[in-house]
């Protein structure tokens, strides 16, 4: 990754989908890799796709890995912005039958 980002001024980071049996290990490896690449590659600005809940830093299940990624990127010295999405488009995959019927189900706030 260092070679890929060398000379790049800005990076938009979306963590790859885990491919092994231990997603948290895969996420930790990706976070360490991107942080090292940003620091050593001289990337000045980073936008990181994160999630609501990452600001808690602990106790939010798999979202904890996004918090770890935020911390790692924050320590690089780059100007970092974290986009903490409340809902991801890929979550709609769980509603394919409803979508085919022209419906999107959700919860009411409050």
Q: Over its length of 110 residues, how does the chain's per-residue pLDDT go in tens digits?
A: 889 899 899 999 998 887 877 777 888 889 999 999 999 999 999 999 887 777 778 777 777 778 889 999 999 999 999 988 777 677 777 788 888 888 776 654 44
Query: Rounded to two decimals, what is the model's pTM?
Result: 0.73
Question: Hunting for tokens 């990624």 — which residue is that?
Answer: 69
Look at residue 98 and tell me if it is in a domain: no
Q: Euclidean distance between the first and final Cα of the chain, in Å?
A: 43
Q: Which residues span the domain enclosing 7?
A: 2-86
- CATH at 63: 3.40.50.720
Look at residue 102 and tell me if it is in a domain: no
Look at residue 93 and tell me if it is in a domain: no
């Amino acid at each position: 990754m260092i070679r890929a980002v060398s000379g790049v001024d800005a990076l938009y980071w979306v963590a790859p989908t885990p491919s092994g049996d231990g997603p948290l290990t895969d996420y930790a490896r990706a976070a360490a890799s991107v942080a090292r690449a940003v620091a050593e590659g001289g990337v000045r600005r980073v936008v990181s796709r994160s999630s609501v809940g990452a600001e808690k830093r602990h106790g939010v299940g798999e979202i904890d890995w996004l918090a770890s990624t935020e911390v790692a990127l924050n320590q690089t010295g780059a100007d970092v912005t974290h986009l903490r999405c409340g809902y991801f488009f890929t979550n709609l995959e769980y509603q394919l039958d409803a979508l085919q019927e022209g419906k999107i189900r959700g919860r009411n706030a409050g």
